[in-house]
Chain A
Amino acid sequence: RKEVEQDPGPFNVPEGATVAFNCTYSNSASQSFFWYRQDCRKEPKLLMSVYSSGNEDGRFTAQLNRASQYISLLIRDSKLSDSATYLCVVNKAGNQFYFGTGTSLTVIP
């Protein structure tokens, strides 16, 4: 079983829509969690960390459900510039980071 699993999509949504991605992880001892964003032909960039109590950064909300071992990313009021691939990342311990294969989002005018 993979350490991290994501729905690859693609998700195609109209501008202004709300979209949510989920990601499941296999190891209950995982300690920290992140969402990265990767634009086409660019490197992954840290979007936000995911905290146990959930956290928000503008239009983006990240949540963690340890009991069910999943994390989520909610994007409200989608913009064209949100089109990218979103990678879920789970840190088991120390430098053991596991990247999901990414979920592709296209926001349509």
Chain B
Amino acid sequence: DAGVIQSPRHEVTEMGQEVTLRCKPISGHNSLFWYRQTMMRGLELLIYFNNNVPIDDSGMPEDRFSAKMPNASFSTLKIQPSEPRDSAVYFCASSVAGGGRVFGPGTRLTVL
């Protein structure tokens, strides 16, 4: 089992640029979660999907953030335009319904 796969692992970009983060959940997991982690705020849930459908996006900071899950094996989190305060580690996680989350290795984003 390859686990949750995220790409890229590191991203450095300039303010104003579009950033796209990618995630492949574990096969058979029907829930997918996007988290953001910073020293100040800890681990924050941004959005989650059940069976590819967005269920709760109340954690998405603002309209600059959007997430899609076109199929059961792929999801993207997009930030457009990016800002320095978006710098964080972004984790994707997946689970079976109600089960413990399995996290991917994260994408470390730096916005200059």
Residues of A within 8 A of B (CB): 32, 34, 42-46, 49, 87, 89, 91, 94-95, 97, 99-102
Chain B residues with CB below 8 A from A44, complex form: 43, 91, 101, 103
User: Which residues on A sit within 8 Å (CB–CB) of B104?
Assistant: 43
Q: List 9 A-B contacts (CB under 8 A).
A: A42-B105, A43-B103, A43-B106, A45-B103, A89-B100, A94-B97, A95-B55, A95-B95, A100-B42
Contact of B100 among A46, A100, A101 (CB under 8 A): A46
Question: Which residues of B come within 8 Å of A, CB atoms?
Answer: 31, 33, 42-43, 45, 48, 50, 55-56, 91, 95, 97-98, 100-106
Considering the chains assembled together, what is the distance between the CA atoms of A3 and B104 in angstroms?
A: 24
A49 touches B43 (CB 8 A): no
When distances are taken between beta carbons in the complex, the residues of chain A under 8 Å from B56 are 95
A43 surroundings in chain B (CB, below 8 A): 91, 103-106
